[in-house]
C-alpha cells in the first residue's frame, strides 16, 4: 500500500468513527412518533439545504468528475439539469406534498389507494434504492482501489455496513447530523482540488488542452441525445424524488423546506464547476486513463502530497455517503413503514420503526449482493433502479395528486404492468446499460405503459364514477402537444430514432395525452358541485 493509500485509510477510519458517534448522538433527538422518519418536522432551512446538497450535489459531483474527463465542459449540463430539478421541487412540488403531510411516495400512493397499492409500491421503491446506493459506492470504490489495492467488492461492503450502523440509530436525525458533517468535507475537497489545479496544470495547461483537444471545450461535446436524456431524467424525477422529499418535508414548514431547497440549488454550483475543472485538469495531466474515476486519483497523486490527496478523497467518500445514506434510509422507510403497515395495518409507530430498522439490514445485505453481482458496472444499476421505480410509480403519484377518478384496481394494474414492461424491455436489450432494445430506454417504455394502464383500467372500471368536462384550456393544449409530438416522431423518425430520442418523444406525447385525459375526465362530485353553484347563482 502506498503512502497515499495509508492516508486515505486512516482518514476514512477516523471519519467513520465520527459518523457512528453522530448516529448515537442522534438517538437523543428521538422524542416523538415523528422523530425517526421525519425528524419531528423540526429541520430549519440550513439543515434541509445541507441534506439536499449532500444527496444531489454529492452524487452529481462524482458523475461530473467522470463525465468531464470524457467529454469536457459539456458535463456542466448534467449539473444544470440537477439544479433545475431542485428548483422545480422547491417551487412546485414541496408545498402540496407538505399539505398532505407526506413521508414517502409509496405512502402517498397507499394512503390514496389502499393496502395492496401501498405494499406493491413500497416494495418496488425499497428495492430500487440499494441499486442507486451501490452505483455511487462502486464509482467511489474505483478511486480507492487505485490507491489501496482494496477490492471494489470490499469497498462496497464497507460502505453498506457503515450506512447501516449510523442510520439505524437515529433515523432522519442521523442523516441531518452526517449530511452536515459531509458538507464540511465537501468544502475542504473543493479547496484542495482548486489548489491542485493551480499547481498543475494551471491556466496554461488548459490552454494547451484547448489546442490539442478543442472538442473538450465544446458545450455540446457529450452529444445532444445524452444531454437531453440528462434533463429528461431529472425532470421526470421531480415528482418521484422520495429521498429528497423525505428530508425537505422534515422542515418546520413548507416555507422553510422551500428555502432550504433553493439554497441547495445555489450550493450545487461549486460542485458542478469543481467537478468540470478537476476532470479536465486530470485529462491534461493523465490523458490515457481508462475512466475519469481512475484518471482523477492519478492526477491528484501527481499534483499533491499524500495528506492532501487523502483529504480530497475523504471528500469524495463523503459524497458517496451523502447519496447512499438518504437512499438506504428512504428505501428502508418504504419497506418497513409502508410495506409493514400494508401487511399489518394495526402496527404501532414503534413497531413500524422496528420494521424499518430490520429493513435497513435487508437493504444492506442487498447492497452488498448487488455490488458482488456487477461490481464493474455502476451504470447498469442506475438504469435498473430508474426503470423499475419510475416505470411503476410515475402515473400513480400523478393520479394521487391530480386525478381523483382513479380506482384502486387501476393503480395496482399500473404498478404491475409498468414494472413488468420496463424490466422486460431491459431484458430484451440483453441488460446492456448503454445499447437498449430498438434504441429505446426501458424507462420510457415502462412509464408509457404505466400511464396507459392507469387510464384504460380507470375508464373501464365500473367502480369509477366520472363525466367528461368539455371546456378546459389545459386539456386542449395537452391534446395539441400530444398530436404535434406524434407528428414530429413520425415525420423525423430517422434522425430522432438514430439519436436514441424516439422513446423520449414518445413518452412526452403519452404524457401530453395523459394531461388531456386528466383534465377532461373528472369525478362526478365535481359536476354536482358545479350544478349546485349554478343553481345558487
Grade residue 222 by pLDDT with cuts at 50, 70 and 90.
confident
Residue 392 lies in a domain: no
Domain identity same for 459 and 364: no
Q: What is the predicted pLDDT for the residue at 536?
A: 53
In the listed set 377, 411, 438, which residue is the last one of a domain according to the structure? 377
Domain identity same for 361 and 427: no
Residue 283 lies in a domain: yes
CB-based contact 5:305 (threshold 8 Å): no
Q: Which domain holds residue 413?
A: 403-536
Range picked from 1-15, 122-136, 259-273 for highest mean pLDDT: 259-273
> Peptide bond preceding 219: is omega within 30 degrees of 0, i.e. cis?
no
Q: What is the predicted pLDDT for the residue at 164?
A: 82
* CA separation for the pair 522, 24 (Å, rounded): 50
Domain identity same for 350 and 428: no
Grade residue 159 by pLDDT with cuts at 50, 70 and 90.
confident
**What cell numbers appear for 9 in the block?**
485509510
Domain identity same for 367 and 414: no
Q: What would the pLDDT profile of 413-452 be if each residue is shown by its tens digit?
A: 999 999 999 999 999 999 988 789 999 999 999 999 999 9
Residue 428 lies in a domain: yes
DSSP assignments along 58-91, one per residue: HHHHHHHHHHHHHHGGGGHHHHHHHHHHHHHIII
**What cell numbers appear for 469 in the block?**
368536462
Rounded mean pLDDT, 323-333: 87
- Assign residue 290 the CATH number of its domain: 1.20.1730.10
Q: Among the listed ranges 219-228, 361-370, 373-382, which one has the minimum average pLDDT value?
A: 373-382
Average pLDDT, the chain: 87
**What cell numbers appear for 313 in the block?**
478523497
Q: What is the predicted pLDDT for the residue at 534?
A: 47
Please give the helix or strand (H or E) that residue 322 lies within, else none. helix 306-333
CB-based contact 329:26 (threshold 8 Å): no
Q: What is the predicted pLDDT for the residue at 86?
A: 94
The fraction of the chain above a pLDDT of 90, given in percent, is: 49
Domain identity same for 308 and 237: yes
Q: What would the pLDDT profile of 73-106 be if each residue is shown by its tens digit?
A: 999 999 999 999 999 999 988 888 877 767 788 8
Q: What one-character DSSP code corresponds to residue 54?
A: I
Total of domains in the chain: 2
Domain identity same for 282 and 412: no
Domain identity same for 56 and 197: yes
Buried b (16+ CB within 10 A) or exposed e, 407-439: bbbbbbbbbebbbebbbebbeebeeebeebbeb
Give the dihedral sign, CA 361/362/367/369: positive
Which residue, among 500, 523, 504, has the nearest Cα to 512 in the 3D structure? Answer: 504
Domain identity same for 267 and 413: no
Range picked from 222-231, 345-354, 494-503, 510-519 for highest mean pLDDT: 510-519
Over 268-282, what HEC string results? HHHHHHHHHHHHHHH
* CA separation for the pair 269, 250 (Å, rounded): 24
Q: What is the predicted pLDDT for the residue at 140?
A: 67
The more confidently predicted of residues 150 and 73 is 73
Residue 9 lies in a domain: no
Buried b (16+ CB within 10 A) or exposed e, 44-75: ebebbbbbbbbbbbbbbbbbbbbbbbbbbbbb
Residue 22 lies in a domain: no
Q: What is the predicted pLDDT for the residue at 437?
A: 93
Domain identity same for 286 and 203: yes
pLDDT at 23 over 70: no
Residue 176 lies in a domain: yes
The fraction of the chain above a pLDDT of 70, given in percent, is: 91
Query: CB-side exposure of 467: number of CA atoms within 13 Å?
Result: 10
CB-based contact 186:319 (threshold 8 Å): yes
Q: What is the predicted pLDDT for the residue at 39?
A: 65
Q: What is the predicted pLDDT for the residue at 27?
A: 64
Domain identity same for 472 and 369: no
pLDDT at 527 over 80: no
Q: What would the pLDDT profile of 233-245 be if each residue is shown by its tens digit?
A: 888 888 888 888 8
Ramachandran bin of 465, using left for φ above 0, alpha for ψ from -120 to 50, beta for the remaining angles? beta
Phi, psi (deg, nearest 5) at residue 272? -65, -50
Residue 70 lies in a domain: yes
The alpha carbon of 78 is separated from its chain's Cα centroid by a whole number of angstroms, namely 13
Q: Which residue has the cell 389507494?
A: 113
Biggest alpha carbon distance in the chain?
A: 84
Which residue, among 372, 319, 33, has the nearest Cα to 181 in the 3D structure? Answer: 319
Please give the helix or strand (H or E) that residue 340 lies within, else none. helix 340-343
Q: Is 451 helix (H, G, I), strand (E, B) or coil?
A: helix
Domain identity same for 173 and 254: yes
Domain identity same for 276 and 344: yes
Q: What would the pLDDT profile of 445-504 be if each residue is shown by its tens digit?
A: 999 999 999 999 999 998 888 999 888 899 999 999 999 999 999 999 999 998 889 999
Residue 514 lies in a domain: yes
Amino acid at each position: 500500500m502506498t503512502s497515499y493509500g495509508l492516508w486515505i485509510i486512516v482518514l476514512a477510519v477516523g471519519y467513520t468513527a465520527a459518523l457512528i458517534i453522530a448516529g448515537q448522538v442522534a438517538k437523543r433527538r428521538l422524542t416523538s412518533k415523528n422523530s425517526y422518519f421525519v425528524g419531528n418536522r423540526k429541520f430549519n432551512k440550513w439543515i434541509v439545504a445541507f441534506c439536499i446538497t449532500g444527496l444531489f450535489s454529492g452524487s452529481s459531483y462524482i458523475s461530473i468528475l467522470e463525465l468531464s474527463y470524457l467529454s469536457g465542459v459539456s458535463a456542466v449540463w448534467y449539473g444544470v439539469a440537477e439544479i433545475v430539478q431542485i428548483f422545480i421541487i422547491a417551487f412546485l412540488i414541496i408545498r402540496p406534498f407538505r399539505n398532505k403531510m407526506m413521508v414517502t411516495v409509496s405512502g402517498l400512493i397507499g394512503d390514496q389507494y389502499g393496502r395492496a397499492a401501498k405494499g406493491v409500491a413500497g416494495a418496488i421503491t425499497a428495492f430500487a434504492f440499494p441499486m442507486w446506493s451501490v452505483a455511487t459506492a462502486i464509482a467511489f470504490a474505483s478511486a480507492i482501489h487505485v490507491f489501496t489495492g482494496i477490492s471494489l467488492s470490499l469497498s462496497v461492503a464497507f460502505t453498506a455496513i457503515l450506512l447501516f450502523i449510523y442510520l439505524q440509530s437515529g433515523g432522519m436525525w442521523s442523516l441531518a447530523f452526517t449530511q452536515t458533517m459531509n458538507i464540511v468535507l465537501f468544502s475542504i475537497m473543493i479547496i484542495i482540488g482548486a489548489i491542485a489545479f493551480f499547481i498543475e496544470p494551471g491556466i496554461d495547461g488548459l490552454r494547451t488542452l484547448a489546442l490539442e483537444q478543442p472538442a473538450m471545450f465544446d458545450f455540446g461535446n457529450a452529444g445532444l441525445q445524452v444531454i437531453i436524456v440528462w434533463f429528461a431524467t431529472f425532470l421526470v424525477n421531480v415528482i418521484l424524488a422520495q429521498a429528497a422529499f423525505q428530508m425537505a418535508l422534515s422542515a418546520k414548514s413548507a416555507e422553510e423546506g422551500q428555502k432550504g431547497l433553493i439554497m441547495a440549488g445555489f450550493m450545487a454550483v461549486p460542485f458542478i464547476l469543481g467537478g468540470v475543472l478537476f476532470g479536465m485538469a486530470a485529462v491534461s495531466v493523465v490523458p490515457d486513463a481508462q475512466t475519469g474515476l481512475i484518471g482523477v486519483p492519478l492526477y491528484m497523486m501527481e499534483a499533491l502530497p499524500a495528506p492532501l490527496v487523502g483529504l480530497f478523497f475523504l471528500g469524495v467518500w463523503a459524497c458517496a455517503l451523502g447519496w447512499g445514506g438518504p437512499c438506504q434510509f428512504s428505501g428502508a422507510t418504504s419497506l418497513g413503514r409502508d410495506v409493514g403497515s400494508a401487511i399489518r395495518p394495526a402496527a404501532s409507530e414503534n413497531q413500524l420503526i422496528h420494521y424499518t430498522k430490520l429493513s435497513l439490514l435487508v437493504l444492506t445485505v442487498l447492497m452488498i449482493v448487488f455490488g458482488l453481482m456487477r461490481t464493474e458496472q455502476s451504470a447498469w444499476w442506475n438504469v435498473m433502479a430508474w426503470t423499475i421505480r419510475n416505470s411503476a410509480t410515475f402515473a400513480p403519484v400523478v393520479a394521487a395528486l391530480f386525478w381523483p377518478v382513479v380506482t384502486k384496481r387501476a393503480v395496482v394494474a399500473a404498478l404491475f404492468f409498468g414494472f413488468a414492461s420496463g424490466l422486460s424491455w431491459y431484458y430484451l436489450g440483453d441488460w446492456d446499460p448503454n445499447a437498449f432494445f430498438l434504441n429505446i430506454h426501458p424507462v420510457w417504455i415502462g412509464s408509457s405503459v404505466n400511464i396507459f394502464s392507469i387510464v384504460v383500467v380507470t375508464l373501464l372500471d365500473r367502480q369509477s364514477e366520472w363525466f367528461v368536462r368539455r371546456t378546459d384550456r389545459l386539456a386542449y393544449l395537452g391534446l395539441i402537444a400530444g398530436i404535434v409530438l406524434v407528428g414530429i416522431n413520425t415525420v423525423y423518425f430517422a434522425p430522432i430514432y438514430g439519436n436514441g430520442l424516439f422513446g423520449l418523444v414518445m413518452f412526452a406525447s403519452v404524457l401530453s395525452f395523459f394531461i388531456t385525459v386528466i383534465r377532461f375526465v373528472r369525478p362526478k362530485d365535481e359536476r354536482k358541485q358545479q350544478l349546485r353553484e349554478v343553481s345558487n347563482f
